[in-house]
Structure 1
Amino acid sequence: MVLISRGIKSMQNILRLGSLNVTRKMSSALGVVEGTIRSKLQSALEAKHLDVINESYMHNVPKGAETHFKVVVVSDKFDGLPLIKRHRLVNDLLKEELHTGVHALSIIAKTPTQWDESDKVVESSPNCRGGFGK
């Protein structure tokens, strides 16, 4: 098990190696948008591994916001697809969320073989710089 600390006590993401993963904020329940993203990706992609990480707390948004996400999805459906088509597939599945409140979506899309060959550590996103390259 790999523990990645996000620097805020109430926001830790646990990445479990191997089987389907459930990533949640330790101090609060699964958010509505986060749950919808998880459900859509799991259902459509039959994910072998799935992390949905709410990174909104790293940005200048109200507490509890669901506007910035990172997804790590591993699926057989990515076999033979270049990275850009994998990202388009994920974006198409989440089109409604991206038009109704999700401001940013970081995507890591791998095949099971690529995932098995990786170190399975997801790098933390950089801190928000306030927008406009500040």
Structure 2
Amino acid sequence: MASSAGVAPEAIELAIKSKLEATHVDLVDTSGGCGQMFEAVIVSPQFAGKRSLQRHRLVNTALKEEIAAVHAWTQKCYTPEEWEKEKEKA
């Protein structure tokens, strides 16, 4: 999965969906395509009842190998209900 060129976005997205039961994932490679910096919006029912720090720890633990292979990782975590409200704002 990891290489000198970073991580393939598809591999990270697949890991997010399978390990976190994500219902929606927006993953952006902000490194210009080299796979070293990613921003993610993750929507998962696993975030229900958890504060922001708990959600980030859950993601970081689940994606430990993938995150270790990149230079920068930024995440925004929402429950499905919170995501629906975010979409209404836009």
Q: Is residue 15–residue 63 contact of structure 2 (8 Å, CA) maintained in 1?
A: yes
**Does structure 1 residue 87 correspond to structure 2 residue 62?**
no
Give unpaired runs (5+ residues) of structure 1: 1-30, 58-63, 123-134
1:41 matched to 2:16: yes
Q: CA deviation at 1:49?
A: 1.0
Residue aligning to 1:112: 80
Normalising by structure 2, report the TM-score.
0.83
- In the other structure, the counterpart of 2:3 is none
Q: 1:121 to 1:48 in 2, by over 3 A?
A: farther
Contact 1:50–1:72 (CA under 8 A) maintained in structure 2 = yes
Shift of 1:33: 2.3
Structure whose alpha-carbon radius of gyration is higher = 1
Provide structure 2 residue ranges, at least 5 long, that are not aligned to the other structure.
1-5
Give the corresponding residue for 1:54: 29
Structure 1 residue 52, shift from structure 2 partner: 1.1
CA distance 1:115–1:36, change in 2 (3 Å) = same
Cα shift at 1:99: 2.1
In the other structure, the counterpart of 1:128 is none
Q: Deviations over 1:79-111 (max 9, x none)?
A: 0011101111111122112223x0111101000
Deviation for aligned residue 1:120:
6.5
Q: Which structure would you say has the larger RCO, counting Cα contacts within 8 Å and 6 or more residues apart?
A: 2
Contact 1:33 1:97 in 2 (8 A): no
Percent of paired sites with the same residue: 39
More helix by share: 2
